[in-house]
Amino acid sequence: MQLQLSQKEKSLLMDQKTHEETCVDKYTKYANQAQDSQLKQLFKTHAAHEQEHLNTINQILSGQVPNVGGQQNQGQQQGQQMTGGTPAPMTASIQGNYNQEDAKLCKDMLMTEKYVSGAYDTAIFEFRDSNIRQVLNHIQKEEQKHGEDIFKYMQSQGMYQVQ
């Protein structure tokens, strides 16, 4: 059965599609700009996850209900194999002794992930189909994990001080 989306649902998905395209672009660009090899790998891994999210949103827009346990979990497992489930063990830097440009990239991506996660939170409540809600919730959890990974990286490098 073809999924019938309301205009509001389509509009929310188009917004999420734009957000995911932006994340793919930023993570890819920032992976090339990052100086630290661990950060490069983290950004590459997240770019791949964001591409999976974009593919999922496109499936929903085409009227399909994606399987949350399928393609996305494979990508998540691949990312965990590359990073061990969390960012690779990082050597602690002396506080304040880190690459300023890498710190700017991290701050931008952390801010982006916070925004995108919040946008998913709003969208989830607007969907009638519980299967779509579950898919969007799954993506939101991955977005939150991306933010956590960036936060942990920043904290380990002395870029983010929790007071």
pLDDT digits (tens, 9 = 90+) for 7-30: 999 999 999 999 999 999 999 999
Q: Give the pTM.
A: 0.82
> In whole angstroms, what is the distance from residue 25 CA to residue 9 CA?
24
Q: Which residue bears the tokens 């409540």?
A: 125
- Domains in the chain (CATH in brackets) are 7-85+94-156 (1.20.1260.10)
> In whole angstroms, what is the distance from residue 66 CA to residue 60 CA?
7
Residue pLDDT, tens place only, 78-113: 444 334 444 444 444 445 578 999 999 999 999 999
Contacts of residue 77, defined as CB under 8 A and 6 or more positions apart, other chains included, come to: none
> In whole angstroms, what is the distance from residue 97 CA to residue 16 CA?
36
Residue pLDDT, tens place only, 139-148: 999 999 999 9
